[in-house]
Chain A
Amino acid sequence: MSSRRRFLASALAAGFFTAAGASRVRAHTPWRNWSGWQTATPLSRLVPDDEAALATMLRGSSAPLRPVGSGHSFTALVPTDGHLVVVDRLQGVLDVDKARAQVTLGAGTRLGDIGPLLDAIDQGMFVLPDIDRQTLAGATATGTHGTGIGFTNLSGYITRLRLVTSNGETLDLAEDDERLPAARVSLGALGIVTRITLRTRPAYRLTARTWVQRTDEVLQTFDAAAAAHRHFEMFPLVHSDYALVLAIDETDDPIANPPETPEEATAFDDVMRSWMQIPPQDRRPHINGLAEQAEPAERVDQSWRILANVRTHRFNEMEYSVPAAAGADCLREVLATIERERLDVVMPLEYRYVKRDDAWLSMSYGDEDHAAISVHRSASEDYRPYFSRIEPIFWKYGGRPHWGKLHTLDATRLRRLYPRFDEFLAVRRSLDPQGRLLNAHLKTLFGIA
């Protein structure tokens, strides 16, 4: 473009802003999370171009810091009145070790971008969470997981990571570093993670089958189904006898996955809206009637297109992981409580298994696989009355909260749930002695005044 055209463009665009009344651009752009319930006004946004720039930025300030991925955490992990550190520009494939089936990615790479990036080198992720808009750093730091008794949370596939500490020091933590199990699920409290090496596998295709079945039937055979399928989960429809069931397996079948229209993508939202017009105690026949008419469906596609879904209906979520052996009883009690107390809820629950692992703050840390149970509330509604009624049920079954999803636990209770809790805190103190990476929420979690 000629300089004349460039001048005209910028001059006239400036006129547009004035005409549109956009002159009140604030000095400090506010921040909100995906659901809109967590807010902050950061001192600044640090958006480094590379690791060296990040280290320079961190050395150049003594103000508090918090890293942010894509803002998908429902908890107050991010809010800060200090610097918000955005690693968006640290993205993409940085190294491929096909012999060891490991790929190094920038920590700001979105999960949804990893699939096509790995496809191009005939590699794939073992598993992905239900939503893939998160960054790799954010998803792993919060212990975010997918579905399947054979699959740990995402952080379980990390073999190496690099972080820049709050004083600007760059650290590479490999598998032989005793701090790696702390850094894999770190809540962004040890430093700013800049690159992550993951175990991968050859690219593959999956077939997803969905159907509707009575919730009690699914629960009775859940263990066998979870063992028989690569991924198996269900979404119990509250105030009904049914659940939506999802089974995913590897396949060589050709791709058959027509894209949803926006109307199809929001059809279930419309159904839920109609249920909200009916008192909770009267919904059962309506929901059962619809469930009994639901047709099974099947689709085939590359793994990353099957494992993750686009969720545009914004909500808040609470999720606890309980030992798998206690999962069915816990879920039954949650469903019975919703029913008995006529809680006015329409969003389905989610019930799935996650494999045990050894990251110190992983919800599945230890020698037991876990059942993850989620409850949701539309972002436009106050989630607190509902979640506060359900949360004690999770406690009763020894539940550990998902770090990115809403809960009310503090250090006293968390220490009882996580055997390596104090060791994590010791690593945190050694890497961030000034506590620059702490905010009010983390201080509550860690018991720091």
Chain B
Amino acid sequence: MSRSITCLLLLVTLSTGVQAQEMTDRQRQMWSRSCALCHVSGEAFAPRIGHPEEWRARLDKGMDVLLTHTLEGLDRMPPLGYCMGCEEADFAAMITFMAMPQVSP
């Protein structure tokens, strides 16, 4: 499944020229004050947005595992990643957004 995830993400990028899971404006705002705190700079060893190689091993575990880690916290990542208003679907969209290769529109 792992390769299929990566391939699918790449396919989406190639076919659309944009991020696979385009977040809504609301999700983007929530992301910028939560996940972005660590996933932009790589603080606390967080996998960085735009660095799909840092996400690959995590994607291999599947979205259910990633969501569980997001909700429950893992090591230095706090539960919910500082997004108290996020629902599971929001987290799924944010994870996909961050794991995607970032390309210019």
**Contact residues of A with B, CB < 8 Å?**
1, 5-6, 8-10, 12-13, 15-17, 19-22, 24-26, 29-36, 45, 47, 68-71, 84, 86, 88-89, 91, 110, 113, 133, 262, 265-266, 310, 312-314
Interface string of B76-90 (1 = CB under 8 A from A): 101110111111110
Is A16 in contact with B8, judged by CB distance below 8 angstroms?
A: yes
Q: Are B33 and A19 in contact (CB under 8 A)?
A: no
The 3 closest A-B pairs by CB, nearest first: A20-B63, A32-B79, A22-B63
Closest beta carbon of chain A to B21's beta carbon, Å = 4
Contacts of B8 in A (CB 8 A): 12, 15-16, 19
Interchain nearest-CB distance for A194 vs B (Å)? 15
Beyond A22-B64, A71-B80, A262-B43, whether A29 also contacts B88 by CB under 8 A is: yes
B76 touches A12 (CB 8 A): no
User: Can you spell out 7 A-B residue pairs with CB atoms less than 8 angstroms apart?
Assistant: A9-B20, A16-B63, A22-B64, A30-B71, A47-B85, A71-B79, A314-B76
Q: Bound complex: CA of A47 vs CA of B4, how far in Å?
A: 35
Contact of A133 among B21, B82, B85, B105 (CB under 8 A): B82
Q: Given A26-B88, A88-B85, answer yes or no on A16-B79 (Cβ-Cβ < 8 Å).
A: no
Q: In the bound complex, do residue A33 and residue B33 qualify as a contact, i.e. CB atoms below 8 Å apart?
A: no
Contact between B86 and A314 (Cβ–Cβ < 8 Å)?
no
Q: A13 with B21: in contact, given A20-B5, A22-B63, A133-B82 (CB under 8 Å)?
A: yes
A36 and B37 contacting across the interface, CB-CB below 8 Å: no
Given contacts A17-B63, A22-B67, A265-B44, contact A70 B89 (CB under 8 A): no
Q: How far is the CA of A69 from the CA of B96 in the complex (A)?
A: 25
Count A-B pairs with CB separation below 8 Å. 137
B73 touches A36 (CB 8 A): yes
Q: Is B12 an interface residue (CB 8 A)?
A: yes
Residues 1-15 (chain B) with a chain A CB within 8 angstroms: 1, 4-5, 8-9, 11-12, 15
With a cutoff of 8 Å between Cβ atoms, the chain A residues found around residue B22 in the complex are 1, 6, 9-10, 13
Q: How many residues of B contact A (CB 8 A)?
A: 48
List the A side residues contacting B30 at CB < 8 Å: 88
Among residues of A, the one whose C-beta sits closest to the C-beta of B82 is A70
Kindly provide the distance from the CB of A6 to the nearest chain B CB, expressed in whole angstroms: 7
Instruction: Compute how far the CA of A132 lies from the CA of B16 in the bound complex, rounded to whole angstroms.
Output: 39
Residue of B nearest to A313 (CB): B76
Measured CB to CB, the closest approach of chain B to A297, in angstroms, equals 20
Q: How far is the CB of B55 from chain A (nearest CB, A)?
A: 12
**Closest Cβ neighbor of B71 among chain A residues:** A30
Residue numbers in B under 8 Å from A30 (CB-CB): 71
Residues of A within 8 A of B33 (CB): 88, 91, 110, 113
Q: Which of B12, B62, B73, B88 contacts A25 (CB 8 A)?
A: B88
Contact assessment for A8 and B15 in the assembled complex, using a CB-CB cutoff below 8 Å: yes
- Alpha-carbon distance between A237 and B20 when the two chains are bound, in angstroms: 49
Given the known interface contacts A22-B64, A47-B85, the answer about A71 and B43 at a Cβ–Cβ threshold of 8 Å is no
CB-based contact A29/B21 at 8 Å? no
Residues facing A in B54-80 (CB within 8 A) are 59, 62-64, 67, 71-73, 76, 78-80
B44 and A312 within 8 A (CB): yes
Instruction: Give every chain B residue within 8 A of A26 (Cβ-Cβ).
Output: 88
Report whether A262 and B42 are in contact in the complex, using a CB–CB cutoff of 8 Å: yes
A residues less than 8 Å from B17 (CB atoms):
5
Q: Is B40 an interface residue (CB 8 A)?
A: no
Write the chain B residue with the least CB distance to A42. Answer: B84
**In the complex, what's the smallest C-beta–C-beta distance from B99 to chain A, in angstroms?**
10
Contact A12 B12 (CB under 8 A): yes
Q: How far is the CB of B73 from chain A (nearest CB, A)?
A: 5
Could you tell me the distance between the alpha carbons of A16 and B63 in the complex, rounded to whole angstroms? 9
Q: Are A34 and B78 in contact (CB under 8 A)?
A: yes
* A8 CB contacts on chain B under 8 angstroms: 12, 15-16
Contact B20 A33 (CB under 8 A): no
Chain B residues with CB under 8 A of A71? 78-80, 82, 84
Q: Contacts A9-B12, A314-B73: A21 and B64 contacting too (C-beta < 8 A)?
A: yes
Digitize B35-61: 1 where CB-to-A-CB distance is under 8 Å, 0 elsewhere. 001100011110000000000000100
Given A26-B88, A45-B84, A84-B84, the answer on whether A9 and B21 have CB atoms closer than 8 Å is yes
Closest Cβ of chain B: how far from A57's Cβ, in Å? 13
Distance to closest chain B CB from A83 (angstroms) = 12
A118 to chain B minimum Cβ distance, whole angstroms, is 17
- Report the Cα distance A115→B82, complex, angstroms: 19
Give the distance in Å from the alpha carbon of A278 to the alpha carbon of B42 in the complex: 32
- Cβ–Cβ contact B85 & A86, under 8 A: yes
Q: Is the beta-carbon distance between A32 and B73 smaller than 8 angstroms?
A: yes
Residues of B near A262 (CB, < 8 A) are 42-45
Instruction: Output the least CB separation between B96 and chain A (Å).
Output: 6
